[in-house]
Structure 1
Amino acid sequence: MVTYHSDIVRQKVLLQVYRPLMHAFLGRVDAIAATSPNYLQSSTVLHRYQDKARSIPIGLAQSLYPEPDGQVVTDLRLRYGERFFLFVGVQRYYKGLHFLLEAMSAAPWPLLVVGAGPLEQDLMRTAARLKLTNVHFLGSVDEQQKVNLMQACYSVIFPSHLRSEAFGIGLLEGAMFGKPLICCEIGTGTSFINVHGSTGIVVPPMSAGALRTAMQTLWDNPGLAQRYGEAARVRYLDVFSSEELGRAYSELYKQVVSRRKVL
């Protein structure tokens, strides 16, 4: 059995060399677990293995996270505003952060960008050029700091615009903390975590205007944002808990072992 997380997206030359080996391997395994049904349906690689592939979403155990520090949460809201948007993730080429910065141009709401990465300095220069005084780059944080930020924020935004973003743990953590979500439709796990019109808003990729409209919608409608956040929490508990992950893998292992015994 193999868990399949992502197609090769950017390394086109390497893929030409690797493709025969990849298909030889996938052709021999008994079962393939994709990390979301969206990815299972949209992957050109997995298309030929539909008969032995299934979806088992990534799950998180909230018990492994520290508890939010109430005083720090209060301090964060005093410092950055009672309501602010939050992005958490490594600043890589497929995260869509340059579109998010464009969306923030002359926006009235605060945005906190958490995480480091190869594009960090470039993004900070872009923010300075656009005079985005309400965008705050916090760099890398530890788990306690991340939990405090998740608890304090108004909404989690995840603007990844390319299929290199196969799932989106930062987005799922937002759901775990009951936050309304914003992401892009790229045919991967992001729009499986965030169901448009239920747990948040899903917009077309590579569109600063669409991101801005989604942020404006949540900002102007606190009641709607609260309903989305509550639904996101319920969806996390129903679909993305560590218990559900373990149950699904245990069942798949049993099926594979059973078939092997018959053979």
Structure 2
Amino acid sequence: MRILHIGKYYAPQRGGIERHLQDLAEWFARNGHSVGALVHQSHGVWRTTRETINGVAVRRAGCLATMLYAPISPSLPWLLHKALGELRPELLHLHLPNPSCFAALLSPRARALPWVVHWHADVSPDMPDWRVRAAYRLYRPFEQAVLARAAAIVVTSRAYLDASEALIRWKKKAVVVGLGIDEQSQTGCDPPAWPNPASLRLLAVGRLSHYKGHAVLFEALARLDDASLLVIGEGEEKSRLQEQAERLGIGDRVSFAGEVDDAGLLAAYASADALVLPSLDRSEAFGIVLIEAMRAGLPVIASDIPGSGVGHVVVDGVTGLLVTPGAADELVAAINQIDDPANRARLGSAGRQRWQDQFTLQQSAQSIERIYRDLTA
């Protein structure tokens, strides 16, 4: 088959959506399909580029700016027109949320194809930034137009589908397909430096945004005497989090590593005692870092967010521990449970088995392949 993905970004830019898009595209390329990806450059890179990465034809539209998490690329509709002519895809795979996918609505060539919409997350009405809430009023009609046009909608968990107001009209064409990742071998790379290697080593991975709940994790850490935290990721909350760490007196027990490459991330998982994902709301739709940690045999502590897939990924008390979003006292109690090496080993072993049983890339990609074949038969 010939498949064209439309997404926000592609490697080396990082993020859960970007990682899954890349993994999925490369799996199909390895299995004999012709795959292209139309994405954006990083902020401020104006030029348009074309390259082939592991068999995937990647076209990047120049990005003039980023507004409310959305890249601004005036050239993307023209690049979509060219990609449709050159790659001649049999279907489009649109990764939302992403306003650039709306360009397909204006293209007769695109509208002649079946569309698979990959619904990674809702635009949350609870976001603290009022500008995002206001902009969603303009975004929603186009979002709904794309969903109406879609032949199939892929959602990452049943819980997320059932709780999504945006998808309520389209449940009949929704298909639940969990995310998946491949096995990775260790590279011998040294992990980022831990602030105190002799203490309980906690790891947090993800964009430094409000909804990730790092501030709550810092409050919990301040109530613990023998735990340190390695934070991997960048984002708009970084300076506030650094100030909070100093204010709470835990600056010497928190290390901000910024973005790290794949080898460094694998090394961080291998050297940690537990991963903590204290997210606050349904902006955390699935938590791909959870299955990355489970693959590494690492126990996880995560927020039990109503209407999110996190509670499906983590089986409370079996593969990890679930806590109420925003509850620092519950985080403290969960971290104290993880402090027991035997408990960590039990949870980590069960988590790795659950990854193998439920969340491999092969399982996820084969489910997507069945959808593709149904639509192009």
**TM-score, length basis structure 2:** 0.63
Partner AA of 1:97 in structure 2: H
Aligned to 2:229: 111
Q: Is residue 120 of structure 1 aligned with residue 224 of structure 2?
A: no
Aligned to 2:264: 145
Bigger-Rg structure (1/2): 2
Q: 1:215 aligns with which of 335, 342, 349?
A: 335
Matches within 5 A, 1:181-196: 181-186=300-305, 187-196=307-316
The structure with higher relative contact order (CA 8 Å, sep 6+) is 1
Shift of 1:68: 4.3
The whole-number CA distance in structure 2 between the counterparts of 1:145 and 1:100 is 23
The ranges of structure 1 where at least 4 consecutive aligned residues each deviate by more than 4 angstroms after the TM superposition are 75-79
The whole-number CA distance in structure 2 between the counterparts of 1:163 and 1:42 is 9
Shift of 1:82: 6.3
Between the aligned residues of both structures, percent identity stands at 31
Task: Please tell me whether the aligned partners of residues 294 and 348 of structure 2 are also in contact (alpha carbons under 8 angstroms).
Answer: yes
Task: Please tell me whether the aligned partners of residues 159 and 308 of structure 2 are also in contact (alpha carbons under 8 angstroms).
Answer: yes
Partner AA of 1:105 in structure 2: A
Aligned to 2:371: 252
Q: Deviations over 1:12-70 (max 9, x none)?
A: 2222222222222212322110122221122112222221111111111234xx51428
Aligned to 1:15: 136
Q: 2:254 aligns with which of 130, 135, 148?
A: 135
Q: Hey, which of these two has a bigger chunk of helix by percent?
A: 1
Task: Please tell me whether the aligned partners of residues 158 and 182 of structure 1 are also in contact (alpha carbons under 8 angstroms).
Answer: yes
Q: Is residue 58 of structure 1 aligned with residue 170 of structure 2?
A: no
Task: Please tell me whether the aligned partners of residues 303 and 323 of structure 2 are also in contact (alpha carbons under 8 angstroms).
Answer: yes
Task: Please tell me whether the aligned partners of residues 77 and 152 of structure 1 are also in contact (alpha carbons under 8 angstroms).
Answer: no
Q: Is residue 95 of structure 1 aligned with residue 212 of structure 2?
A: yes
Cα distance change on mapping 1:106 and 1:185 into 2, 3 Å: closer
Paired positions, count = 253
Task: Please tell me whether the aligned partners of residues 298 and 348 of structure 2 are also in contact (alpha carbons under 8 angstroms).
Answer: yes
Q: Secondary structure at the match of 1:81?
A: coil
Q: Is residue 31 of structure 1 aligned with residue 152 of structure 2?
A: yes
Shift of 1:79: 5.6
Shift of 1:161: 0.7
Aligned to 2:202: 85
Aligned to 2:290: 171
The whole-number CA distance in structure 1 between the counterparts of 2:169 and 2:368 is 22
Aligned to 2:10: none
Shift of 1:78: 10
The whole-number CA distance in structure 2 between the counterparts of 1:69 and 1:244 is 28
Shift of 1:142: 2.0
Shift of 1:77: 7.6
Which has the higher mean CA deviation after the structures are superposed, 99-108 or 185-194? 185-194
Partner AA of 2:317 in structure 1: G
Q: Hey, which of these two has a bigger chunk of strand by percent?
A: 2
Q: Secondary structure at the match of 2:210?
A: coil
Partner AA of 2:215 in structure 1: H
Q: CA RMSD in A?
A: 2.1
Q: What 5-or-longer segments of structure 1 have no aligned partner?
A: 259-263
Q: 2:323 aligns with which of 190, 197, 203?
A: 203
